[in-house]
């Protein structure tokens, strides 16, 4: 469980900085890459950076690139690989990263609907562009409560976006969303192949892990979620 193990090391890196509001997405990518490096190193891999690649093209869509790609070297043998896949552990792992926050992010000024579209864009890329027999993860971070950045309720109808609530609920969930029921501001953020986008309705099974503060403070709070796409 290399990817999951690295995820739970992230607080060590975040707490090393005085003000969490100063973080950018590049910080989260760098910290997660380093955490994965250490996980591989602890398991005896001599040069882990040979197994980690940034901005690797997706095999099914060469003009789209994933934020982090990880190859687990000891899963090369077919027998070992087949056994590991039964536990949801894969030789190849594709990771998209999103961070909401950073310098100059004024509270209440967030494009909450567009932010959902950016997350769905990453999830659909992973689902349709990464191989099915690989680990597909979306790492999402916030420097305030997710509700400050995401519209969990539709603006006009006040209807709850159940799929979004499930995405950020710890545990395994089956989710379903219909883009025809979403505003253009959300849909325009989804930059996947038109053959994918024309489907409109999508079903996924996800496993969500979370790291959240027990109490809020002015400058040291962060919310981290690792969403694994299983189907």
| pLDDT, tens only, 138-150 | 999 998 899 999 9
Region 74-94: mean pLDDT is 89
Region 13-27: mean pLDDT is 70
pLDDT of residue 209: 98
Number of residues that this document lists for the chain: 231
- Asked if pLDDT for residue 55 goes beyond 70, the answer is yes
Percent of the chain with pLDDT over 70: 91
Give the Cα separation of 176 and 164 in Å (integer): 9
Helix (H, G, I), strand (E, B) or coil at 226: strand
| CA-based nearest residue to 114, from 175, 197, 187 | 187
- Asked if pLDDT for residue 76 goes beyond 70, the answer is yes
Region 93-119: mean pLDDT is 81
When computed from its CA atoms, the radius of gyration of the chain, rounded to whole angstroms, is: 18
| CA-based nearest residue to 186, from 177, 195, 199, 176 | 177
The DSSP code for 147 is: G
- Asked if pLDDT for residue 21 goes beyond 70, the answer is no
Q: How far is Cα of residue 111 from the mean position of the Cα atoms in its chain?
A: 19
Beta-strand relationship, 135-142 and 171-178: unpaired
pLDDT of residue 201: 94
Cβ neighbours for 101, distance < 8 A, ≥ 6 positions apart: 20, 21, 23, 141, 142, 143, 144, 149, 222
pTM of this prediction? Answer: 0.92
Beta-strand relationship, 92-100 and 135-142: parallel
Strand partners, 94: 69, 136
Per-residue pLDDT band for 103 (boundaries 50, 70, 90) equals: very low
pLDDT tens figures, 152-204: 999 888 899 999 999 999 999 999 999 999 999 999 999 988 888 888 999 99
Per the model's pLDDT, the better-predicted residue between 79 and 68 turns out to be 68
Cβ neighbours for 125, distance < 8 A, ≥ 6 positions apart: 58, 61, 64, 66, 96, 192
């Amino acid at each position: 469980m290399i990817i999951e193990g690295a995820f739970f090391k992230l607080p060590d890196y975040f707490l090393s900085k005085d003000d969490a509001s100063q973080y950018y997405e590049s910080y989260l990518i760098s910290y997660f890459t380093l955490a994965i490096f250490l996980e591989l190193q602890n398991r005896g891999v001599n040069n882990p950076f040979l197994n980690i690649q940034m901005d690797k093209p997706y095999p099914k869509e060469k003009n789209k690139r994933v934020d982090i790609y990880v190859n687990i070297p000891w899963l090369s043998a077919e027998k070992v690989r087949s056994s590991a896949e039964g536990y949801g552990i894969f030789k190849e792992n594709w990771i998209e990263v999103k961070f909401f926050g950073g310098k100059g992010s004024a509270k209440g000024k967030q494009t909450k609907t567009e932010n959902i579209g950016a997350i769905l864009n990453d999830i659909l890329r992973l689902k349709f562009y990464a191989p099915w027999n690989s680990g597909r993860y979306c790492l999402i971070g916030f420097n305030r409560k997710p509700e400050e950045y995401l519209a969990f309720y539709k603006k006009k109808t006040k209807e709850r976006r159940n799929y979004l609530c499930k995405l950020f609920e710890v545990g395994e969930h089956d989710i379903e969303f219909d883009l025809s029921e979403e505003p253009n501001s959300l849909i325009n953020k989804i930059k996947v192949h038109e053959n994918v986008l024309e489907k409109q309705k999508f079903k996924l099974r996800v496993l969500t892990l979370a790291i959240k503060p027990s109490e809020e403070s002015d400058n040291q709070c962060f919310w981290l979620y690792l969403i694994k796409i299983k189907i």
